[in-house]
Chains A and B, each alone.
Chain A
């Protein structure tokens, strides 16, 4: 009996020993870094959220009450309508944005249209402006005094129509960013095979192009859906009577200071994110790497019909976006809309009016720079570990889950959660409360998911063979990361950096709870100026923020052109003659 047990146990032990010894020291080191990453996300995302969301099962005095808050919320008459409203608006926006962003991304990456760079710049403009800017434009365009009011045919902009237009406008660049990355890498050999096998362009699209971007496409849909369903900025300003879940949180927390009830609604809002995560896992298992180590970059051919169609789509989208922004710029120059339409520059004299003035503007730039620098490094390196590290299954799973979570959290909830968590006297980190550091951490956390998904999408397209080959050549994985993964993914890395920068410039919902007297931000100033009735100066500050982001974009463009010339030359196909 005893002997047999021992005999049984021994090979198992040996097996485990064998497994352990197979892991190289640098794999251990990288695993350790991943664990540090998990700890960081625990502190920056999970723990604060737990502090706030645990209130959903407590009463005002902190006693455990089970699901009472949920029961109360379910019994309020407006709830059922809030849920169906939220779903309708989010589904509709997702459908519109995913379709349009896919067309645009396809046109930019897979056709030979002239002026693609220009279109690309115009299409990401919405992300460069604070959310109040489209709200102001929509009112000036389609409100009761709006110049295009007739286009709504008697319908009011204050309601579902306004929410859908506003949501589409601000989520479009998010979707475009993921899809551009998904479509950027292609393997010409597949297209050549399709051609040789006589497949029509449409069939090639269905059998080669679509499967290769399936992951990006589904990520996009979930990102847009979750962004829309958790956003309260657009519904608050333009939603009118149309109750959605996110404005219900606003009513509970800001209107009635009922944190427990606000937490309960927030928990309900986490469900779509959970769904995102499950679906993401499911799709991921079915996505194989499209960019194998033998891949040959594909160069699009000229196709007159398709090219014209896509030019039309890009033009239409650009006109809509430029129209909205143009209206906001006009709004910032008008003396008093709509009764005194004389143009003036006085709205740009921020030092004469209050709301933080230029100091807030410089604070915003500092905050955005730190966020972009530290955020990009942390996010990309950890995404790399999640994708390319062997073993550490549970750690990778946990990290991925934590990285998806922030997307589902309305900024308002994140901001409050940070107060409860970081301001607590028992938290050893409470020294960062009220400083620039907490603003940076909060902003990185708030925008974590889209960056993480972009990084993962880019990394997924690199064949794991690179790692295996280097491992068998005894090249440390750090070196493979530095020499292969990072250069190949450089476009995505730069995208993440600029994404963090511009979002840090424009974000309001979370940081509004966290700024202090010496860290006032420009985006908050925009909101406060609008709040004080100074719509034109608010529009002016919003335009300033947008211009700053445009400049940042230009810098980004110059840097990426220089770097890409050095690192992405492999993407352009060298002719046979030249190589031999």
Chain B
């Protein structure tokens, strides 16, 4: 009798242990590197967990430059399983180092062509577009009597002298996106000439891509060349900003997703990447971004123009990647060396 009770109790204990163990085992943890805005991370993970409660996402988030440098430095022994939400140009860089696992997620073909890798064996998939914009502080502009610019060309007018801040392309991906888009829009020769003109009006170049807009929002400068997502955020927070989408066209990059080569959790990683191209994921992206990878589902986003997608230039990423070093060296020679001569 006594023995029976003990056995019974043991059995209960063992089964409880087994249950909790299996519950533990079924929860796969993925380390996901990202540069997505911190406040969106919880939302993204929660939406994913609605469909896949068995995969837990452990985020490592930092700015694009830091995360890219970290990934490259960890090349010998990658720590990340998945990269979800990093600039496609950064992922191309990682791909060049053979650090990404090629994978064609379910639903890949449903995405717009420009959000696809388009290699025979694709390694990354786009999520949403992240486009240039000009932040224009109406209060400061009124004090200084500045008219509202509407095009890139307007920004070279002498009236804006020392009133414009833009990111330094040598420090910031956004800065490079601007420079490469002007070279593609205007052609090499006219592009450089345009920047010579713009340079006359620049009060300083920042190291961060979001900074010019933040400075415009805080009234430190009337005009900051930055990107639209940050501009909308600042405006929502109460900054007296007008967000200008220059009429010639906008440079853009996309946030994208890829699996890191060598991950020991390939199946879970693939499940996650499948989800990141799903309709539900794209609807989630659309809450902050006007242009997303899956065509036909984007609803207008506050402060973005309805024709946002039409304004995006036909960005040739491979051209930009191949010519990056040359462009940066040329930019440095023209503007960085002499910029403090005054």
**A contact set with B: CB distance below 8 Å:** 76-78, 81, 139, 143-145, 158-159, 236, 240-243, 247, 250-251, 253-257, 259, 335-340, 353-355, 416, 419-420, 423-425, 430, 433-434, 512-513, 515-518, 524, 528-529, 531-533, 535
Q: Please tell me if B119 contacts chain A, counting CB pairs below 8 Å.
A: no
The residue on B at minimum CB distance from A139 is B220
Q: Please tell me if B204 contacts chain A, counting CB pairs below 8 Å.
A: yes
| B238 close to A255 (CB less than 8 A) | no
Our pick among A78, A242, A251 for the contact of B337 (Cβ within 8 Å) is A78
In the bound assembly, the distance between CA atoms of A355 and B205 in angstroms comes to: 26
Contacting A at CB under 8 A, from B26-84, are 31, 37-39, 41-42, 58-63, 65-66, 68-70, 72-74, 76-77, 79
Across-interface contacts of B234 in A (CB, < 8 A): 533
Query: Which 3 A-B pairs rank lowest in CB-CB distance, beginning with the nearest?
Result: A77-B337, A517-B58, A254-B65
| A423 close to B207 (CB less than 8 A) | no
Q: Please tell me if B274 contacts chain A, counting CB pairs below 8 Å.
A: no
- 14 chain-A/chain-B pairs, Cβ below 8 angstroms: A78-B336, A139-B220, A143-B220, A158-B204, A241-B340, A251-B168, A255-B65, A256-B170, A338-B219, A516-B58, A516-B79, A528-B38, A529-B38, A535-B214
| A354 close to B38 (CB less than 8 A) | yes
| A336 close to B337 (CB less than 8 A) | no
Nearest chain B CB to A367 CB, angstrom units: 17
Across-interface contacts of B168 in A (CB, < 8 A): 251, 255
Q: Please tell me if B23 contacts chain A, counting CB pairs below 8 Å.
A: no
Our pick among A242, A340, A423, A516 for the contact of B77 (Cβ within 8 Å) is A423
| A339 close to B240 (CB less than 8 A) | yes
In the bound assembly, the distance between CA atoms of A204 and B127 in angstroms comes to: 73
Across-interface contacts of A517 in B (CB, < 8 A): 31, 58-60
Across-interface contacts of A518 in B (CB, < 8 A): 58
In the bound assembly, the distance between CA atoms of A78 and B333 in angstroms comes to: 8
Given A77-B332, A416-B69, A423-B61 contact (CB < 8 Å): no
In the bound assembly, the distance between CA atoms of A146 and B31 in angstroms comes to: 43
Given A145-B218, A423-B76, A251-B37 contact (CB < 8 Å): no
| B76 close to A516 (CB less than 8 A) | no
Most central of A250, A419, A424 by chain B CB within 10 Å: A419
| A419 close to B73 (CB less than 8 A) | yes
Given A78-B337, A531-B210, A259-B65 contact (CB < 8 Å): no
Contacts between the two chains (Cβ within 8 Å), count: 145
Across-interface contacts of B308 in A (CB, < 8 A): none
Our pick among A339, A512, A533 for the contact of B214 (Cβ within 8 Å) is A533
Given A77-B333, A158-B204, A423-B79, A535-B218 contact (CB < 8 Å): yes
Given A354-B39, A416-B73, A528-B68 contact (CB < 8 Å): no
| With A254-B69, A533-B217 already in contact, 15 other A-B pairs whose C-beta atoms are closer than 8 Å | A81-B340, A145-B218, A145-B219, A145-B220, A247-B171, A257-B68, A257-B69, A339-B219, A339-B239, A423-B73, A517-B59, A528-B61, A531-B208, A532-B38, A532-B233
The residue on B at minimum CB distance from A525 is B38
Our pick among B76, B79, B169 for the contact of A424 (Cβ within 8 Å) is B76
| B332 close to A241 (CB less than 8 A) | no
Given A256-B328, A517-B59, A419-B74 contact (CB < 8 Å): yes
| A338 close to B66 (CB less than 8 A) | no
Nearest chain B CB to A324 CB, angstrom units: 18
Contacting A at CB under 8 A, from B61-111, are 61-63, 65-66, 68-70, 72-74, 76-77, 79, 93
Q: Mark B142-178, 1 if CB is under 8 A from A, else 0.
A: 0000000000000000000000000011111000000
In the bound assembly, the distance between CA atoms of A251 and B329 in angstroms comes to: 12
In the bound assembly, the distance between CA atoms of A524 and B208 in angstroms comes to: 16
Q: Please tell me if B221 contacts chain A, counting CB pairs below 8 Å.
A: yes
In the bound assembly, the distance between CA atoms of A353 and B42 in angstroms comes to: 11
Across-interface contacts of B220 in A (CB, < 8 A): 139, 143-145
Our pick among B31, B93, B207, B338 for the contact of A251 (Cβ within 8 Å) is B207
| B237 close to A255 (CB less than 8 A) | no
Q: Please tell me if B139 contacts chain A, counting CB pairs below 8 Å.
A: yes
Nearest chain A CB to B260 CB, angstrom units: 13
Our pick among B42, B210, B218 for the contact of A354 (Cβ within 8 Å) is B42
Nearest chain A CB to B222 CB, angstrom units: 9
| A251 close to B219 (CB less than 8 A) | no
Across-interface contacts of B332 in A (CB, < 8 A): 76-78
In the bound assembly, the distance between CA atoms of A544 and B77 in angstroms comes to: 36
Nearest chain A CB to B187 CB, angstrom units: 24
In the bound assembly, the distance between CA atoms of A355 and B338 in angstroms comes to: 38
Q: Mark B231-267, 1 if CB is under 8 A from A, else 0.
A: 0011001111000000000000000000000000000
Contacting A at CB under 8 A, from B189-235, are 204-205, 207-208, 210, 213-214, 217-221, 230, 233-234
Our pick among A240, A253, A434, A532 for the contact of B204 (Cβ within 8 Å) is A240
In the bound assembly, the distance between CA atoms of A349 and B208 in angstroms comes to: 26
In the bound assembly, the distance between CA atoms of A300 and B222 in angstroms comes to: 57
Across-interface contacts of A533 in B (CB, < 8 A): 210, 213-214, 217, 230, 233-234, 237
The residue on B at minimum CB distance from A338 is B219
| A257 close to B79 (CB less than 8 A) | no
Nearest chain A CB to B243 CB, angstrom units: 14
In the bound assembly, the distance between CA atoms of A339 and B204 in angstroms comes to: 23
Q: Please tell me if B339 contacts chain A, counting CB pairs below 8 Å.
A: yes
| A257 close to B93 (CB less than 8 A) | yes
Our pick among A144, A255, A339 for the contact of B139 (Cβ within 8 Å) is A339
| A81 close to B58 (CB less than 8 A) | no
In the bound assembly, the distance between CA atoms of A256 and B336 in angstroms comes to: 15
Across-interface contacts of B339 in A (CB, < 8 A): 241
